[in-house]
A and B are shown apart, each in its own frame.
Chain A
Amino acid sequence: RKEVEQDPGPFNVPEGATVAFNCTYSNSASQSFFWYRQDCRKEPKLLMSVYSSGNEDGRFTAQLNRASQYISLLIRDSKLSDSATYLCVVNLYNQGGKLIFGQGTELSVKP
């Protein structure tokens, strides 16, 4: 089982749609979770840190389910500018806090 596994993409959605990405992780000792966004040929940029109670930032909502070891990202009212690859990142607490990246889920929002 991969340490961090994301929904395979790509996701093609119309503007205004709601889209959700899931990410599962294998290391139950993980303590920190993040979602990054990466535009084509650019560096990843932090989108959200994921807190145990779940958190919301505008149209974006992140949730953590420790029992099932998955993290989700919900995007409401999708914009064209949301088109990017979304990376799930998990730390391996019992390996010195190493951060492991998922392979990414590509989102394409169409007019």
Chain B
Amino acid sequence: ETGVTQTPRHLVMGMTNKKSLKCEQHLGHNAMYWYKQSAKKPLELMFVYSLEERVENNSVPSRFSPECPNSSHLFLHLHTLQPEDSALYLCASSPGQGNSPLHFGNGTRLTVT
């Protein structure tokens, strides 16, 4: 399997649930990212990990908690979300941080009820 894989593809959760999004990359990249894409808005960078160390946290609410156990895996743990958190969550990786283009996973479409 190659590229960037995200699971699940779709997720519906209540505001009191706890769930996790998973991302795996098979490209040998050193940087991984979480982006949020809401309808009619630009992609918003949430978190950046470079060599498993978090280097960017764009003032994301604490109900979103990232985890990067190794350079191939990235998780986004979700708890007590709000309906406005419903969006497409995209994971991406790149060889290094900054000048390299991003390779995206196919995203998790999240609906919070």
Contacts and interface: CB of A to CB of B under 8 A. Distances in A.
A97 to B, nearest CB: 2
Interface string B48-67: 10000001100000000000
Interface band, chain A? 20 to 34
Interface of B: 40-43, 45, 48, 55-56, 88, 90, 97-107, 109
User: B interface, by DSSP: helix, strand, loop or mixed?
Assistant: loop
User: A interface, by DSSP: helix, strand, loop or mixed?
Assistant: strand
Interface in A39-58: 41-46, 49
A49 B102 CA distance: 11
A49 B94 CA distance: 14
B99 A98 contact: no
A97 B103 contact: no
A31 interface: yes
